[in-house]
Amino acid sequence: MTLRTRKERYRSELRAETLTAARELIQKEGYEGLTIRKLASRMDCSPMALYSYFADKQALLHALATEGFEKVAKRFDSADRDPLLAIRRILLDYIAYAEENPFEYRILFMSIEALGELEPTREDLQERNPAFGALFKLVRACIDAGALQGDPFAITTVLWTGAHGAASLLITATKFPFASRESYAKQVVDTLLSGVHNRVIAPI
């Protein structure tokens, strides 16, 4: 192993350790408790060592979000050849991820501070957010196949926000009188798909 390879591995490992420690700190003290100095103290290193990886808190939140999006996207390896069925599977997997990882889901999508500090453009969402990008590509495939009509970004956003609403309810309203949580998720997704399938979605 070359010196350069060892340095790259060390940087990768330290970055991963930093993100893990950041998640633990947020879980303990909330977003307001996350600072580079507190994180450095938790990791028993100097703040300057962390600043070499993350310029500020916003950069740290961005890294946490990116890592979370990648984890979500890994679930989206659908074997369905029909893009509409693949979209259904993605949306159900998205909701399942929230139920299985409620704390990480809150970091990604339910913190005002995290969402407020991140400023994604449409291009960021389509190209750099693996989860949104995977859904966007399938929506484009459905449009090309004639299964959906309208603006692909608008359709993707409508589907994503609908699934987000269901996921948020499932992980916050734990005593909501669902007859079946799984059936609820399927009903939401099927209703969303029926809605975008039967109309032309205008740009937003």
Using the predicted structure, report yes or no on whether residue 3 has a pLDDT greater than 60.
no
Multiple choice CATH, 3-54, 3.40.47.10, 3.40.640.10, 1.10.10.60, 1.20.1250.20: 1.10.10.60
pLDDT per residue over 52-101, tens digit each? 888 888 788 778 877 777 777 776 665 567 888 889 988 998 899 889 88
For domain 65-201, the CATH class is mainly alpha
Domain boundaries, the chain: 3-54, 65-201
Q: Report the alpha-carbon distance of residue 129 to residue 157 in Å, rounded.
A: 13
pTM > 0.85: yes or no:
no
Confidence band for 162, pLDDT divided at 50, 70 and 90: very high
